[in-house]
Amino acid sequence: MITLALSKGRIFEETLPLLAAAGIQVLEDPDSSRKLILPTNQDAVRVVLVRATDVPTYVEYGGADLGVVGRDVLIEHGGAGLYQPLDLRIATCRMSVAVRDDFDYENAVRQGSRIRVATKYTGIARQHFADKGVHVDLIKLYGSMELAPLTGLADAIVDLVSTGSTLKANRLVEVERIMDISSRLVVNQAALKLKRDALKPLIDAIASAVPSSD
């Protein structure tokens, strides 16, 4: 049995075509089913639904043989024990710094002010501001980051941006782009050795379905 860990939402939706290219169809819709283990048209392949942030943990400890996870989550996790053979180029967005439209970020940086930054991504944020030599107080949040600058909880946020419409709707502006984000395939290293005959063709089929970079 091969177990693939996916999170509901865009990663699940955007992984489906890649699985189809490998001849795999998921037989139930996670939006209408309450099941957390979804069968596929291949008896030896199943999908487990976990929180996006739990995908690396499932794969690291062998609860799943492989999974699909955003680069954001992977960096925060650290990636230890995970083989990362493929950038799938799905669920693309960017990690950015955003502030309220009336906050002069450049000036605060120039003045060497301490900046309060709210984020779910404390690892990425800490590294980014350390690289810039900017002093920050990091405030860990688990969601709705956009609210933090509006309520005075923080001066800035570090969050994922795709179209920018959520920022705009909340009077926030993107002031710095930290990194481009896409989702990757991660594989349990022991599983890759023990189940190589099944996993290698699957990984190769998914790889050939990934759109080229240009």
Binding footprint of ligand ATP on the chain (CB under 6 A): 7, 9-11, 51-52, 70, 72-73, 91-93, 143, 160, 162, 181, 183
**Backbone φ, ψ for residue 202 (5° rounding):** -65, -45
Q: How far apart are CA 62 and CA 56, in angstroms?
A: 10
Quick one: tokens of 136? Answer: 């920050």
CA 16 and chain centroid, separation: 17
Least distance CB 98 / ligand ATP (angstroms): 13
Nearest position to ligand ATP, beta carbon: 70
Pairing of strands 93-100, 172-181: antiparallel
User: 122: closest CA among 73, 176, 56?
Assistant: 73
Quick one: tokens of 75? Answer: 């960096």
Question: What are the residues whose beta carbons fall under 8 Å from the beta carbon of 153, sequence distance 6 or more?
Answer: 116, 118, 139, 147
Least distance CB 53 / ligand ATP (angstroms): 6
CA 68 and chain centroid, separation: 9
**Residue 42 or 166 with smaller CB distance to ligand ATP:** 166
Least distance CB 72 / ligand ATP (angstroms): 5
Least distance CB 114 / ligand ATP (angstroms): 28
Least distance CB 166 / ligand ATP (angstroms): 8
| φ/ψ bin of 164: left (φ > 0), alpha (ψ from -120 to 50), beta (otherwise) | left
**Residue 121 or 129 with smaller CB distance to ligand ATP:** 121
**Residue 33 or 162 with smaller CB distance to ligand ATP:** 162
Pairing of strands 2-6, 136-140: unpaired
Neighbours of 15 (CB within 10 A): 24
**Residue 25 or 162 with smaller CB distance to ligand ATP:** 162
**Residue 50 or 136 with smaller CB distance to ligand ATP:** 50
**Residue 51 or 171 with smaller CB distance to ligand ATP:** 51
